[in-house]
Structure 1
Amino acid sequence: MRSFAVSALREPPFSSARHDDTERVARESADWAQHLGLISNGHRLHRADAAGLAGRACPQGPLDRLRLLTDLISWLFVMDDACDEDGLGSEPTGLAPTVAALLDVLDHHGGPGPVPAGVAGALGLGLADLCRRVRAHRRPALLLCFTAAMREYLLALLWEAANREHERVPAVDEYVQMRRHTGAVYPSLALTDLALNGFPPASRRADPGWAALESIAADLICWCNDVFSYDKEQHGGPDAHNLITVLTWEVGDESVALRAAAERFNDRLDAYLAAENDLLASHGDAVRPALKTRRNWIRATYDWSRAAARYA
């Protein structure tokens, strides 16, 4: 699948770079996850290479902000693996108590006071730590954006769990919409904006053109991941939560679905470039830092996916 992805997906025409402190942050983030009890050993998280992805998405910026982004990605990998591989997300009634406890953490917006581990355990402690560290940067709008996006991610996991319980394959349009949230793209972009001082002002974010570009960027990031990860996700039995799977269900032919997924990605890349040009024409330099963040993430996902042992 990796060779197919490399040959079929257009390489994003954006510069590729990696933060100089990536290896240091990888060690520190693994220690953070171990200390909180998110992992019992570092093997699975090491294969995920959260720091490698974060270092590509944030090739410049202060060390502490790169650490924050890396720790978020590590937390997301742990949560996703708990749902996808360890059975937490096999049905919504099993997942709901953990989601409720994590939503309670988000409702506190990283405020002062101890956070009881509760039913969410180490996941709750880790999320509380992330919220506190975002809050410490004193960017209220960004904190609210981050916590809102994390809520959407958690609620989308319940949608996945309901599909698994009923062995349901969603329609393509439904999948595309929900994948933007199950992929946790928006909270990751928020912390990368923080790291690169690229968070756009509210007047820019309210522009429908900006919302359209955000959706396109999320699609590119998630669909690239879907194509590269498709083989791995089929090993434990078919999982409906992959673009190729839902396209196969619709067209009835896996080879046709593979080509269609690649074509969707390539067409979406053209749409992204057009949306960028439109925003630059209407907003000028005010949106350049935020556009750089999104370019970084699209390119980082492609480069990281080509090398990640997670999908080997």
Structure 2
Amino acid sequence: MAVREVTGTDGTSLVHRTFGSETAPVLVLIHGWAQSSRCWGDDVLDALARDFRVVAVDLRGHGYSQAPETGYDDRALWAGDIAAVLAAENVSASNPAVLLGWSYGGLVICDYLAEYGSDAVAGLVLVGAITSIGRGEKGGRVGPAMRAAIPAAMSEDPREAVKALGSFGHALTGPVEGKGAVSQALFGVSLSTPPRVRAALFDRAVGNDELLAELDVPVLLLHGDVDSVVDVSVAHHAASLLRRATTSVWEGVDHGPFVEDPDRFVAEVGEFARRATAEAATREDHEQGSMEG
């Protein structure tokens, strides 16, 4: 594993961790609201790193990345953050990456696509992810656990925040035996995310339906059917818009599929990412041959 630091377009320091071979296809993992690159768990990261160069990002305001006072409502800044990480990992049109976004990470991926396009993207994986945010946006419909946590989860009063984030944290692990330590770890990450950042991430409104409808890369939509944070209807809405969507709805699973069934998560993500990168390589070879011809 290597820990690397890049700088966003506004000077914000951003940290990401890398796993696996430098020459393997790149898989970028983007976490959700009030989490960090630690959310995936060592076992998932190590398993994915057998076949991919895994890049696990700490978004601005989260984990070890810097938490600026403002800018969380600026699409260009979120997009620039991802672009900086991709550039540092030598991702380009000739070496595209698969981008995986969980929860709020799906919205950040849309920010990147809106600003930079999909030339450097082999495929997308959206895990319990929103693609839009704001009142009436079908791509941002939240579930009962998220509704119950707001606004107390953003409070600076520790009594309010601990109670709200504690109940919210159960949705990340689901009703699975033996996940107590994981639940506490995820809860700790949420609590360590500054309250002003927790609040600022919801202080924006943006729709991405048109962007999804025009997207020309393969997309895997992976969602639990009892997701209490991001309603499963969000995945079905995205599937109705996307040209090349594969939908995997997990029965009885809440907001953290990679926590509830890490082996299945690694298998499904790995299979999709291998196909997407192979397709992108074939397309690049064909385009290169056409230019030479």
TM-score by length of 2: 0.29
Q: Pick the structure with more strand per residue.
A: 2
